Amino acid sequence: MTEKRILAIDYGSKRIGIAVTDPLMMFGYPLTTISNDSKMWDNLLNLFKEYKISKIVLGYPLKENNEKSASTLMVEKFCEELKQKIDIPIELIDERYSSEIASERILAGVKSRKKRRNKGLVDMNAACVILQDYLGQNS
């Protein structure tokens, strides 16, 4: 039996936060943050292969009033490009408060002020919040 996992993406114009589930798909944990640069697709596609991803959960940023923002359109464009490159189901998940929740968790759990200022830490933890929301809704 091949162990498959769910991967969550917190997509941003500079950095992309990544979280994955354990092999039993019960828990999500922050994995890494990759730069949104010329190597982004190679790095992302390698993660899909390495972790045997069976589903992608993509954070979908909506405004407070459910309207789309510039970030929403950016994520939609990324999602379309992703669909062209892979044959893995993608599910969009409302991510309205994921970065705030991630920041609160980091403040509570990371003692070093220098580490807390690491924006990549927030991005991968925001992806983890998105993943945990998904797992909670689908368990």
Burial of 28 (0-12, 13-18, 19+ CB in 10 A): buried
- Angle at which helices 98-109 and 119-137 cross, to 10°: 110
CA angle 65/29/71 to nearest 5° reads 30
Mean pLDDT of 29-49: 96
Q: What is the pLDDT of residues 49-107, one digit of tens each?
A: 999 999 999 999 888 898 998 999 999 999 999 999 999 999 999 887 676 776 677 66
Question: Which residue range is the domain that position 88 belongs to?
Answer: 5-137
Burial of 117 (0-12, 13-18, 19+ CB in 10 A): exposed
Specify the pLDDT at position 95: 82
CA distance 16 to 125: 11
Specify the pLDDT at position 109: 67
Q: What is the pTM of this model?
A: 0.88
Q: What is the pLDDT of residues 82-96, one digit of tens each?
A: 999 999 999 999 887
Instruction: Tell me the residue type at 85.
Output: K
What domain count does the chain have?
Answer: 1
pLDDT-derived band at 120 (thresholds 50, 70, 90) equals low
CA distance 10 to 129: 9
The residue among 89 and 129 whose pLDDT is bigger is 89
The residue among 43 and 94 whose pLDDT is bigger is 43
CATH assignment of the domain containing 93: 3.30.420.140
